[in-house]
Amino acid sequence: MVTAAKYLLRFDDICPGMNWAVWREVQCVLEGNGVRPLVAIVPDNRDAHLNVGPARADFWEQVRRWQSQGWTVGLHGYQHVYSTTESGIMGRNRYSEFAGLGRQAQLCKIRQGIAVFAEQGVVPQVWVAPAHSFDEVTLEVLAECGMRRISDGYSVLPHVDARGLLWIPQQLGRFRGMPGGVWTVCCHINAWTPANVRHFARDMERFVERMAGFEEIAAQYAQRRPGLADRLSEGSMQLARSLRFAGSH
């Protein structure tokens, strides 16, 4: 049964050289509304495109504070460097840090990413693949490494797959009024303007009563298995996305 819509908020590409001027304003909005987002952190960023300003020396101190406040910390790949042209399971982008690589290479990257977190006293709680690109090998490696939550997918509700991995879907790039289900809104703030921040603040005012924390949703759906409705919603959303992108070229 699909319940009244709940929203999760996810911020990708969190790293020392991100847009801290915008982030300070965004964080004020989050804290003012009591929203606990998922922050997807690149453990060892080597993607120059993500470095839009001076690297913050106290970055990991900030991450530890976020986690202590009940924010969810995501493992956003390892170095955010795309090494293949595979789109992986989701089929959203034709480039990947993981999809198409052998098991040992993927295992090494994920272990190294988790090790960076451990050195900083931070525990990653969910997998967030750069470019939404990962494959079945990635899932095997994640399970082996104890990373059993995934922020991705097109279903309307979270579910646990045959490997025992909990999928919390990520379907939206902006807030929209939805009739029911659990919806993750993914934000990339590096290029945001003051107008984007103001729009975000208005969205928070509008949707704050429907916002949920990742841990709350993870606990609620920890035992739920996927059904026909999940397969139908995933298929329809993937089709709609592919048609939208096809029409834009």
pLDDT tens for each residue of 48-105: 999 999 999 999 999 999 999 999 999 999 999 999 999 999 988 999 999 999 999 9
**Nearest-angstrom CA–CA distance, 172 and 50:** 21
> Mean pLDDT, to the nearest integer, of 41-54?
97
- The reported pLDDT for the residue numbered 48 is 97
1 or 57: whose pLDDT is higher? 57
pLDDT digits (tens, 9 = 90+) for 97-134: 999 999 999 999 999 999 999 999 999 999 999 999 99
> Mean pLDDT, to the nearest integer, of 167-172?
96
Cβ contact 133:92 at 8 Å: yes
pLDDT-derived band of residue 245, with 50, 70 and 90 as boundaries? very low
CA distances from 189 to 13, 24, 25, 26, 211 (A): 9, 11, 11, 9, 19
- The reported pLDDT for the residue numbered 238 is 57
pLDDT-derived band of residue 239, with 50, 70 and 90 as boundaries? very low
The proportion of the chain whose per-residue pLDDT surpasses 70, expressed as a percent, equals 90
User: Which amino acid is residue 91, in one-letter code?
Assistant: G
* Cα–chain center distance at 83: 20
- The reported pLDDT for the residue numbered 149 is 98
Burial of 72 (0-12, 13-18, 19+ CB in 10 A): buried
Averaged pLDDT of the chain: 92
- The reported pLDDT for the residue numbered 246 is 36
Which tokens is 22 given? 């915008």
- The reported pLDDT for the residue numbered 237 is 58
**Nearest-angstrom CA–CA distance, 187 and 195:** 15
- The reported pLDDT for the residue numbered 4 is 87
Q: φ, ψ for residue 242 (rounded to 5)?
A: -65, -40
> Mean pLDDT, to the nearest integer, of 25-34?
98
What pTM does this model have? Answer: 0.91
Which string of b and e fits 10-36 if b means at least 16 CB within 10 Å?
A: bbbbbbbbbbbebbebbeebbeeeebb
| Strand bridging mode 72-75 / 149-151 | unpaired
Q: Give the least confident one: 24-28, 87-91, 163-167.
A: 87-91
The residues, ordered by sequence, that sit 6+ positions from 152 with a Cβ below 8 Å of its Cβ are 90, 127, 128, 129, 132, 134, 167, 169, 170
Residue 58 sits at the vertex; the CA angle it makes with 53 and 62, to the nearest 5 degrees, is: 100
Residue recorded with tokens 């504070």? 65
**Nearest-angstrom CA–CA distance, 120 and 150:** 22
pLDDT digits (tens, 9 = 90+) for 179-235: 899 999 999 999 999 999 999 999 999 999 999 999 999 999 999 998 776 766 665
The proportion of the chain whose per-residue pLDDT surpasses 90, expressed as a percent, equals 88
